[in-house]
Amino acid sequence: MSHCHNLSLKPLPGSLSGVSISISFSKTSPLFSFLRCSFRRTRFRAMASHVVGYPRMGPKRELKFALESFWDGKSSADELQNVAADLRASIWKQMADAGIKFIPSSTFSYYDQVLDTTAMLGAVPPRYSWNGGEIGFDVYFSMARGNASVPAMEMTKWFDTNYHYIVPELGPDVNFSYASHKAVQEYKEAKALGMETVPVLVGPVSYLLLSKPAKGVEKSFSLLSLIDKIIPVYKEVVAELKAAGATWIQFDEPTLVLDLDSHKLQAFSDAYSELESSLSGLNVLIETYFADVPAETYKILTSLKGVTGFGFDLIRGTKTLDLIKTEFPLGKYLFAGVVDGRNIWANDLASSLTTLQDLAGTVGKDKVVVSTSCSLLHTAVDLENETKLDQEIKSWLAFAAQKVVEVNALAKALSGQKDEAYFSSNAAAQASRKSSPRVTNEAVQKAAAALKGSDHRRATNVSARLDAQQKKLNLPNLPTTTIGSFPQTMDLRRVRREFKAKKISEDDYVKTIKEEINNVVKLQEELDIDVLVHGEPERNDMVEYFGEQLSGFAFTVNGWVQSYGSRCVKPPIIYGDVSRPKAMTVFWSSMAQSMTKRPMKGMLTGPVTILNWSFVRNDQPRFETCYQIALAIKDEVEDLEKAGITVIQIDEAALREGLPLRKSEQDFYLKWAVHSFRITNCGVQDTTQIHTHMCYSNFNDIIHSIIDMDADVITIENSRSDEKLLSVFREGVKYCAGIGPGVYDIHSPRIPSTEEIADRINKMLAVLESNILWVNPDCGLKTRKYSEVKPALSNMVAAAKLLRTQLASAK
C-alpha cells in the first residue's frame, strides 16, 4: 500500500487511537515518502537490538504544549492527534535510522500507559458516566484530571521512579470490555509507514497488582480474582494484532521484580497459560525492569510455554545475571537490558560488551538481544539539543536518542561489526570522567564521612518542642497553610527567562519578583491563612532551583522528563561532590517575612528529594551523595533561623519514591534517608518549627520511618488517594507531631466546596487529635490557575473555621 489516501485508519474523533495517516501525510507529502522509504529500507538488520520504550513528550515538549492547548479549548482533538502522530512517526524513524530491530509501538500515551490499559479494558469508574463504545478524550482525560463534576482517579508513583500512573479502581462488579483500540491502531499506523514494530501492552498481572479496590469494595478484595475477566479482552487485542500482521508482542510485567507470594506467582503462571493458545503464531516477549527478578519468580517466568523471549534489567538487577548464567531456557531469546534507561551517563561500552559476550556464551550469540534496562521514558530526550552544556560534562552523557545508538553499537559489536572509533571515543570519555578534578572535593568527602558517628536527633522530644513553638507562634486550632508554590503565570515565567538570558537587569528582576511575593502575601492575608508562604515565584523547579546554587551540579536546557500527564521536570545532573557556596533562599524568605506579621515559612527541598529527583552520579553510593546534600541544606536551615524565620519547611516529597523494590534492601535505604533529613535540622532551637511535605506515594508501609524523621509538622497528600493515609491511624499508629493530611487535590481543576472539605477534616478528626491537625491542600499550587486557587483556598479556610467553631462549642 504505497499511498496514504488508500489507508483505512480512521478512529473516532477524539479517540485515543492513532489518527488516520492521511491527516498528517498526504500522498504527495515529501515527509511521508521519506519516512516510508526510510522505514522499509531499515526494516530489519542482522544485529538484534531492542528498546523497551521511548519518551513521549518530544524533544521540545511538543506533546505537553499540544495537550495544554487542547485542555484550554484553544485547539481541536484533530490538532492534538496530528501532533501525536508526528511525534510517533519521528520516534519510529529515529530508531529505524539507528538500526534498531525490535522497535516498540503503543508506548506513546496522551497521559499514562496504565490509564491506557484501563481504557483498553473498559474499566471506567461509574462516576464518569461512560456509556460504552470506544473511549474518547472526554472520558479519558476526566479519569486523569477530573472535571467540574467529579474528581480524578488516584495518581501514585510508578515503582521507584518520579513518573506517576493513574491507579485503576476495580471490584467484582466491573464489566470489562474492549473499549480502546489504541495498541492496534498505532501498530497499523507504523505499518502504513513501512515499519514493523513490537506492540507493547501492560501485562494482565501487573495491571491488576497495580490497581486498588474501588470505593465501596472491601479492602481485602483480591484484585487477582479478576484475571479471568480481563484475559478475554487481552485475547481480543492479541487477535486484532495478529490479524493486522504483528509478529511480536511485548507484555510489560514489572511487578515480577517485587517480592510476590506463591498465590500471585500462580496467578501469573495461570494467566499466561490461559493466553498461550491465543498467542500461538506470535513471538512473545515478557519484559521486566527496575530490579532483580527473585530466584523463584525467575524459575516460573522462564519455564512458561509459548514465550519467545525474556527481558531483564541488568543495570539495577545485577543479581539476575547470576540466575541467567546458572540456567536459561534453551532456544529462548534473552533481551539483555545493559543500557541504563533511568540515568543519563554514557554507557561503558567495553564493560557492557564483556557482559554481553559472557551471556552469549550461556544462551548463544544468536539468542542475545541488546536492549535498554527499562523504557527510556525516564531519561531526557536528546543530548544534541544541549548547546549550552559544558563540553567536558556533555562528553560523559547519553540521553534517550544517544542510548538508542549505544544499543545498536553494542549489538553490532556483539555480532562482530564493532565500530572501533565509536568505542574508542567512549573509552576516552569514561577515562576523562574518572580523572577529572572537578568531580572530587576532599573537604566535602571528609565532612560527609564524619556524619556516620551520630544519629543527629534534636535534643528535645517533639511534644515539648510543639509546646515551645505554640507559645511563640500562637496559632489557632486547626491552623491553615499551603504547601509552598502559588500559580506560575506566563508573565512570571517570561520574566525568569529574560533575567536568565540577561535581557533585563537584576534590579528589574528583583522588583518584579518582590511585587509577585507581595501579591501572594496579601492574598493569603485576605484569605486569612495562618502560616504563609512566599509563593516561590523565583523558582523554576523545586530541585533545579537549589541545584543551580550548589556545587557539583550541571543543568540542561531541554533535558525534560515526564512526571505525569503534561507535567515535565528537568532533573539536574549531579556529577561531583556537593557543597553550598552561599545562602540560597534567605534573601527571598526574609523579604517575604518583612511583608507580614504572620509566620512565613522558609521553603527548602530536602536532601533525599534532591537526590531522587536528580540524575545522580553512579561512581559512588547514593547515600554518600545524599549526606553531602544534607550538609548543604543544614547550612541553609541555620542561616534561615538566624535571619528570623521561625517556620522552615524541608520538603521530602520523594522519600518514599526511592524505597527499593525488594524488602531485603528497604531497611538500609530508610535508615540513611531518614538520617539525611535529621542532619538538615538537628541544630535548630526548639522554638523553630520544622515542617516537611510528602506527596503521591503509598506512605502507610513506611509510617514508622516518617515518625522517625522527627519533624515538628508533616503535610502529606491524602485527598486524591481517597484518604488512604488515614487508615494507618485507624489501625492504632500513634502520631504525636503536627500533621496536615491534604484536604483537596491540587492536580485537578475542580474546586471543592466548603462542605466537602469540612467532611474531610471531620474524617481526620476521627483518628487524629485536633491539637496536632493542620489544614492544607495536597500539594503545591504551581500548576493551577488563580481562578481555581482563590475559591479553593477560601473554601478551605472557611471549612477550618467552621470546624473550630464546632470544636469550641462541643467543649
Answer whether 150's CB lies under 8 Å from 749's CB.
no
467 burial class (0-12, 13-18, 19+ CB within 10 angstroms)?
A: exposed
Answer whether 577's CB lies under 8 Å from 628's CB.
yes
132 burial class (0-12, 13-18, 19+ CB within 10 angstroms)?
A: exposed
C-alpha distances (whole Å) from 537 to each of 96, 490, 604, 613, 692 are 43, 11, 14, 20, 20
- CA 150 from chain centre, in angstroms, equals 24
- Long-range CB pairs of 33-41, under 8 A, 24+ apart, other chains included: 35/89, 35/92, 35/93, 35/193, 35/194, 36/2, 36/193, 36/194, 37/194, 38/93, 38/96, 38/97, 39/92, 39/93, 39/96, 39/190, 39/193, 39/194, 39/195, 40/194, 40/195
| Grid cell for residue 748 | 485537578
Residue 747 annotated as catalytic: yes
- In the three-class reduction of DSSP (H, G, I as helix; E, B as strand; rest coil), residue 193 is classed as coil
- Greatest CA separation for the chain: 83
Residue 579 DSSP one-character state: E
Among 702, 709, 746, 748, which residue's Cα sits nearest to residue 725?
702
Residue 596, phi then psi, degrees to nearest 5:
-150, 155
Of the candidates 181, 675, 693, 747, the residue annotated as catalytic is 747
- How far apart, in whole angstroms, are the C-alpha atoms of residue 548 and residue 57? 24
Those residues with Cβ within 8 angstroms of residue 446's Cβ, 6 or more apart along the chain or in another chain = none
Alpha helices in 597-665 (DSSP H): 607-612, 622-642
Between β-strands 164-166 and 155-157, what pairing exists: parallel, antiparallel or unpaired?
antiparallel
Q: Which residue has the cell 514494530?
A: 197
Q: Which residue has the cell 518520579?
A: 162
Answer whether 240's CB lies under 8 Å from 275's CB.
no
Residues carrying an active site annotation: 747
